[in-house]
Amino acid sequence: MAKEKEHINVAIIGHVDHGKSTLIGRLLYEAGQIPPHIIEQYRKEAEQKGKATFEFAWVMDRLKEERERGVTIDVAHRKIETNKYIVTIIDCPGHRDFIKNMITGTSQADAAILVVDVAECVQPQTKEHVFLARTLGINQIIVAMNKMDRVNYDQKKFEECKEKVAKLLKLVGYKIEEVPFIPVSAYYGDNVYKRSDKMPWYNGPTIFEAFDMLKPPVKLIDKPLRIPIQDVYSIKGVGTVPVGRVESGVLRVGDKVIFEPPGVVGEVKSIEMHHEPLQEAKPGDNIGFNVRGVSKKDIRRGDVTGHLDNPPTVAKDFTAQIIVLQHPTAITVGYTPVVHAHTAQVACRFVELQKKIDPRTGAVKEENPQFLKTGDAAIVKLEPTRPMVIERVKDIPPLGRFAVRDMGMTIAAGMVIDVTP
């Protein structure tokens, strides 16, 4: 039997209207990921509405509707098979959803496609998403220089914008020589799946080919078990069933587990995924598992399951590198916004502003700054106002990243460098 292909999660990021959903639609459509019966259904819908006359437009129509309703249906599997990988596309519809998807979301991004409209080039959200991607530890990036059709597939326009994007990527620390810049038209399909004959000056990869140039994701399977809890059910005749995604390690039937912060201990009686029983669950699996010895009231969303002999870390305080994305005034010691990490949301107090740093090199710009403003990168110490599990990003990446939210905005993104248990 052929070896199963490795999975890789790729987030689509970029400024609003630069063509993210069109690119996703084009990829899925041309990679043959939309089954004929679904296309037929779209055709009928379009006909009834008296809209759109060609196939790709039906697909886009439906994708748009999905986004507007904030749901994911039919096309939502968003998986593309390349020579090397099964690529799952992580869509981040609203700007705000981006943070949520990246941090608490269903998938952890291993790489990102940055979509840039060549005519508009770098815009505020382009910058913000790039900063965020970097801070969250997404080390690989593919740049889709989109809407080439609107600049007549002109190489000069491409180069001009490429320079600006390259400067931005370099500034936050991406190794620019490893980043493919691909001139595409998502709308017409140039260099997305098929090579375009409209840009003879370009001989690099298509978006589809660039997926195979990505390095395989870090293996989380060999790390300690961590399952952030999304929900807890009490099922008649079964018992307590916490639900969550395995972020690292392996959970097996019969394992002795602990839920932190409450410190409750139980034994795994069964594991289920998509209504199928499993003997073991691996990173990426969204599971429900029945535990003996734990009652529904003992645990809740935001708690983390680990093995009894290697429990999740409950932080008294933690040191983190953050980037301030937007703050109307300034962050000072004592400020207590909400930290969103894995499935937990806990108010945390800034207890020390240790250093202001250069986000690119990490070089110290100022020791013990009095305040931090939009655009600043810093090393800070935070103290949760109630017990919370958080890990060093280098130990367990998905549990070491967080967003800081306040006033309905994402104030900062960060990663944990050190934890005081």
Q: Which residue ranges make up the site for ligand GDP (CB under 6 A)?
A: 14, 16-22, 146-147, 149-150, 185-187
CB-nearer residue toward ligand GDP: 146 or 319: 146
- Smallest distance, ligand GDP to C-beta of residue 229, A: 32
Does 18 count as an annotated binding residue? Answer: yes
Does 20 count as an annotated binding residue? Answer: yes
- Smallest distance, ligand GDP to C-beta of residue 171, A: 22
- The two structure tokens encoding residue 152: 């007549």
- The two structure tokens encoding residue 236: 């008649």
How many whole angstroms separate alpha carbon 216 and alpha carbon 3? 15
CA dihedral sign, ordered 340, 343, 345, 351: negative
How many whole angstroms separate alpha carbon 211 and alpha carbon 86? 10
Does 154 count as an annotated binding residue? Answer: no
SS3 label, residue 179 = coil
- Smallest distance, ligand GDP to C-beta of residue 218, A: 28
Does 231 count as an annotated binding residue? Answer: no
The answer to whether 199 and 190 have CB atoms below 8 angstroms apart is: yes
How many whole angstroms separate alpha carbon 394 and alpha carbon 399? 10
Does 95 count as an annotated binding residue? Answer: yes
Does 148 count as an annotated binding residue? Answer: yes
CB-nearer residue toward ligand GDP: 98 or 289: 98
Integer-rounded Cα Rg, in Å, for the chain is 23
Does 275 count as an annotated binding residue? Answer: no
CB-nearer residue toward ligand GDP: 18 or 405: 18
Instruction: For residue 257, give the nearest of 285, 300, 224, 233 by alpha carbon.
Output: 224
Does 298 count as an annotated binding residue? Answer: no
CB-nearer residue toward ligand GDP: 191 or 305: 191
Within 10 angstroms of residue 40's Cβ, the number of other Cβ atoms is 11
Does 15 count as an annotated binding residue? Answer: yes
Cα 154 to the center of its chain, rounded Å: 33
Q: What's the full length of the chain, in residues? A: 421
CB-nearer residue toward ligand GDP: 14 or 369: 14
- Smallest distance, ligand GDP to C-beta of residue 32, A: 20
- Smallest distance, ligand GDP to C-beta of residue 16, A: 5
Residue 292 to residues 98, 246, 269, 302, 317, Cα–Cα distance (Å): 36, 19, 7, 20, 31
- Smallest distance, ligand GDP to C-beta of residue 112, A: 14
- Smallest distance, ligand GDP to C-beta of residue 18, A: 5
- Smallest distance, ligand GDP to C-beta of residue 107, A: 18
**DSSP string across 132-169:** HHHHTT--EEEEEEE-GGGGTT-HHHHHHHHHHHHHHH
How many whole angstroms separate alpha carbon 293 and alpha carbon 5? 38
- The two structure tokens encoding residue 103: 């941090």
CB-nearer residue toward ligand GDP: 14 or 242: 14
- Smallest distance, ligand GDP to C-beta of residue 66, A: 12
CB-nearer residue toward ligand GDP: 57 or 243: 57
Does 93 count as an annotated binding residue? Answer: yes
CB-nearer residue toward ligand GDP: 14 or 224: 14
CB-nearer residue toward ligand GDP: 83 or 152: 152
Does 146 count as an annotated binding residue? Answer: yes
Contacts of 396 (CB under 8 A, 6+ apart): 220, 223, 224, 226, 247, 248
Q: What angle do CA 319, 323, 324 make, to 5 degrees?
A: 115
Please enumerate, by residue number, every residue annotated as part of a binding site for Mg(2+). Answer: 21
Please enumerate, by residue number, every residue annotated as part of a binding site. Answer: 14-21, 91-95, 146-149
Please enumerate, by residue number, every residue annotated as part of a binding site for GTP. Answer: 14-21, 91-95, 146-149
